[in-house]
Amino acid sequence: MADRVGTALLGAFVLLAVVGPVLAGSPTALVGDVLEPPSWAHPFGTDSLGRDLFARTADGARTSLVVSTAAVALALLVAVPAGLAAARAHGRWPDQAVMRVVESTQVVPQFVLVVLLLGLGGAGPVQVLGVHVSTTARIVACIALGFVPFFARIARASAVVELESEYVEALRVAGVGERELLVRDVAPNVAPVLGAQVLLALAIAVFAEGGLSFLGLGVPAPHPTLGNLIAEAGGQLLDGAWWYALIPGLVLVAGITGCNLVGDAAADRLVRSDLR
């Protein structure tokens, strides 16, 4: 039941993010009067500058989806090899080194770290070693960095369990190389464990992207994100523009709830299949 609700919410969110921008007009054009309530022409109403909020919410959902998916993917790309390498060297110095680096990024909570790193450069593009890095890329990188310790720990822990298991021992005895073991036997078994966590991480990434936009450290104007739509909407509540704060907020909640429910269900299934 929860599973189905979750799939429905997540599906609706993804649908809005993928199809919405195609159906809606431009999210930046001034198409209506300021603060029009929802109508047939503008199903989500208009914002304080007279832009269509359906187009903006859909575009914002897309940005949230792209940024958070990219961040989680990037984090996996870094964290899984690091975690596996650490597991292989279990207890020896490469393991220690990886885990120490991981720990040192965890001296402050993940979101605080992301805020601090983004806050440093100001809300704008930067040059890193002569390469132009757009604000959006920086946001993706910073959120990803926040997830690396999380995934690296999970990958390492479950790989260590696998490497110590009997079947791996048997393969070792049979003469299978350590590297091949890791890639062909251990990694596929670590994947489902990580998979369940990926959706939960996505929920956090969507939240974080919104929070950064809210603090003014997010994707720059005029492109909307759910976070800065919500931040801008706060003041409009005073004028009775309820739709402005409510609809983008509900879309964000739907996305996060969907990820959480589906992620939960996946984790449950994993536990159950383990017990069997």
Partner 1 sequence: MTPSPLRADPSARATIDRRRFLGLALGAAVSGPALLGACGAGTDTSARVVRRHQDGILRIGVAGAPSNINPLDSGSELTRWLAEPIVETLYAYDADLRSVPLLAVGEPEVSADELTWTVRLRDDVTFHGGDPLTAHDVVASLDHILDLSSGSEWITYLLDYVQTFEALDDRTVAIGLVRPYGLLRSHLTNLPITHRDAVDRRDAIVGTGPYRLERFTPGQSFTLVRHPEYHGEPGAFEGIEFTVFTDGATRLVSLRQGKVDLITSVPYQNLRAVEGDDDLALVLADSPLDVLTYVNLLAEPFSDAHFRRAVALSMDRAGVRDRVFGGHATIGQGPIGPAERGWDPDLAVYDAEPDLDAARAELEQATTERRGFRITVGTSQLGKEIASVLAAGWATVGLDVEIEQLAGGPWSSAWLANEYELLMNTFQSGFTSGPANYLTLAPAHSRNLLSCGYVDPELDGWLDRVWETDHDDERAGLLRQVSARLAEEAVMFPPVYPRAAFAQRRELTPLDPEQLRISRLAPHELRFTSS
Partner 2 sequence: MIRFALHRAASLLVTLVVAVSGLFLVLHASPGSPLTNLAPSVAADPEARAAVARETGLDRSMAEQYGDFWASLLHLDLGTSLYDGSSVSEAIASAAPVSFQLGLMAAAVAIGPGVVAGVVAARRRGRPADAAVRVLSVVAISVPSYWLAVLCLVLVGERWPDLVPAAGGYTPFGTDPVASVRSLLLPAVVLGLGGFAMVARSLRSSLVGVLDGDDVHFARAMGMPEHQVLGRIALRAVAPSTVTVVGLLVGGLVSGTLLVESVFALPGLGQLMVTAFVRGDHPLALGTALVTAVVFLGLNLVVDVAGVALDPRARRRVAAGRT
Size of the site for partner 1 (CB under 8 A): 24
Span of 118-126, 143-151, 175-183, 249-257 interacting with partner 1 by CB under 8 A: 118-126
Query: Quick check: helix, strand or coil at residue 46?
Result: strand
Query: Quick check: helix, strand or coil at residue 219?
Result: coil
Q: Of 192 and 220, which has the nearer Cβ to partner 1? A: 220
Residues with Cβ within 8 Å of 106's Cβ and at least 6 positions away in sequence, in order, are 149
Which residue, 248, 247, 223, is CA-closest to 26?
223
Q: Of 109 and 122, which has the nearer Cβ to partner 1? A: 122
* Residue 207 binding target from partner 1, partner 2, none, CB below 5 to 8 Å by type: partner 2
State residue 46 phi and psi, 5-degree precision: -125, 165
Binding residue for partner 1 (CB under 8 A) from 2, 15, 18, 30? Answer: 30
Minimal distance, residue 55 CB to partner 2, in Å: 20
Rounded to whole angstroms, the Cα distance separating 204 from 55 reads: 24
Binding residue for partner 1 (CB under 8 A) from 103, 164, 169, 239? Answer: 239
Rounded to whole angstroms, the Cα distance separating 75 from 87 reads: 18
Span of 26-34, 63-71, 189-197, 265-273 interacting with partner 1 by CB under 8 A: 26-34
Span of 58-66, 167-175, 193-201, 233-241 interacting with partner 1 by CB under 8 A: 233-241
Q: Of 26 and 111, which has the nearer Cβ to partner 2? A: 111
Q: Of 46 and 158, which has the nearer Cβ to partner 1? A: 46
Cis status, amide bond into 222, omega within 30 of 0: yes
Rounded to whole angstroms, the Cα distance separating 199 from 10 reads: 10
Rounded to whole angstroms, the Cα distance separating 259 from 8 reads: 10
By CB under 8 A, residue 249 contacts partner 1: no
CB 215 within 8 A of CB 205: no
By CB under 8 A, residue 221 contacts partner 1: yes
- Binding residues for partner 2, rule: CB under 8 A, are 2, 100, 103-112, 115-117, 119-122, 126, 203, 207, 210-211, 214-215, 227, 230-231, 233-234, 237-238, 245, 249, 252-253, 256-257, 260-261, 264
State residue 128 phi and psi, 5-degree precision: -115, 115
Minimal distance, residue 5 CB to partner 2, in Å: 9
* Residue 43 binding target from partner 1, partner 2, none, CB below 5 to 8 Å by type: none
Residue 128 parent element (H or E) = strand 126-128
Q: Of 77 and 250, which has the nearer Cβ to partner 2? A: 250
**Separation of first and last alpha carbons in the chain:** 22
Binding residue for partner 1 (CB under 8 A) from 72, 236, 252, 255? Answer: 236
Q: Per the structure block, which two tokens stand in for 262?
A: 């589906």
CB 186 within 8 A of CB 64: no
Minimal distance, residue 241 CB to partner 1, in Å: 9
Q: Of 48 and 257, which has the nearer Cβ to partner 2? A: 257
Residues forming contacts to partner 1 in the complex (CB under 8 A) are 28-30, 34-35, 48-51, 122-125, 216, 220-222, 232, 234-239
